[in-house]
Amino acid sequence: MPEILPSADAGTPGWRKFFEFAAGTKPLIVSFIGVLLMALLVFPMLPVGGELLDVKLSYSLAEAQAAMLQYGPHGRAVYALASPTVDTLFPILYVTFFAGLLYRFRPSERLWLLAFIPVFAGAWDLCENAQITTLLLQFPDISARQVALASFFTSVKHVLSAVYELTALLWLAIFMVRRFR
């Protein structure tokens, strides 16, 4: 009898190969170092003149306008350039690291699909970057609706990040318990 439902691998062989690559020791180390460098050196050194909207949990129109004024024209220009460039590299790095980590340390084979959580988060982050870049380029002509949409993308990005980070910690703990039992 033919299979009615597709297998878990249907449509995902390319992703499986990516996850297998990302789960390798060298890609995990390189992507982890890249994430650390970006988070601890590159982003804090951007001459923006204030806290990046990306790192806030959410923001209102008044908060976004205050941040944009604090950045000034130079800070907004730097941020508008960094968001679609430097902040595109960052999701590539953290997606590779966390997808690889989740794939490598999954406690059960059937949980491999959860390696897609950071992939989805990275794609969502790129959409957030587009929203923030638009705000930066259109300032001072930004609307409450635009800011609400950008803030929504930022908030969801942080929720997704918490989900894959906590899942990775849990799976690493399970791995350690099983290994040293």
The yes-or-no verdict on residue 17 having pLDDT over 90 is yes
The yes-or-no verdict on residue 105 having pLDDT over 90 is yes
What is the value of pTM for the model shown?
A: 0.89
In a domain, residue 127? The reply is: yes
State how many domains the chain has: 1
| Confidence category of residue 113, pLDDT binned at 50, 70, 90 | very high
Q: What is the pLDDT of residues 53-63, one digit of tens each?
A: 999 999 999 99
Q: Say which DSSP state 46 is in.
A: S
User: pLDDT > 90: what percent of the chain?
Assistant: 91
In a domain, residue 6? The reply is: no
In a domain, residue 53? The reply is: no
Q: What is the pLDDT of residues 58-88, one digit of tens each?
A: 999 999 999 999 999 999 999 999 999 999 9
In a domain, residue 35? The reply is: yes
| Confidence category of residue 13, pLDDT binned at 50, 70, 90 | confident
Sequence-ordered alpha helix ranges (H) in the chain: 13-22, 25-37, 43-45, 61-82, 86-104, 116-138, 144-179
In a domain, residue 148? The reply is: yes
In a domain, residue 165? The reply is: yes
In a domain, residue 146? The reply is: yes
What residues make up the domain containing 152? 13-45+67-179
Residue 135, CB half-sphere, CA atoms under 13 Å: how many?
A: 32
